[in-house]
Amino acid sequence: MTLRPVYRVTVFVPPAHLEALKAGLCAVEPLVLGDYAEVLWTAAPGEEQFRPLAGARPAQGSVGELARLPSVRLEFSLPREPERLARVIDEGIRPHHPWEVPAIFVDECWAALP
């Protein structure tokens, strides 16, 4: 077994936009883990909530009102290279996500490969 340093990236996305987000990610990064490409994990169903503040331009909901919408948790891993992570977020996630401020979380962890 070999432990490799990776980023684990988690993104929450409305179910109707999941496939477009996956395609956008795979277009800029092969998402390789071991001998496999396009490795992604999804968990559903879920719900996200938010209250847009003054100055927000929400794709759903209204400024000042609490919104609750269905959501899917999408996860993938990348080698721990900051430039690669920035490219995936800026080119693979943000242009393919419907929200003005997508919920994107990055953890530094280790992947156990054979």
8-55: per-residue pLDDT in tens? 999 999 999 999 999 999 999 999 998 999 999 999 889 999 999 999
| In contact, 88 and 7? CB cutoff 8 Å | no
List all residues 6 or more positions away from 2 whose beta carbon is below 8 Å from its beta carbon.
Answer: 112, 113, 114
pLDDT at 114: 84
54-108: per-residue pLDDT in tens? 999 999 899 999 999 999 999 999 999 999 999 999 999 999 999 999 999 999 9
Which CATH architecture is the domain 2-113 placed in?
A: 2-Layer Sandwich (3.30)
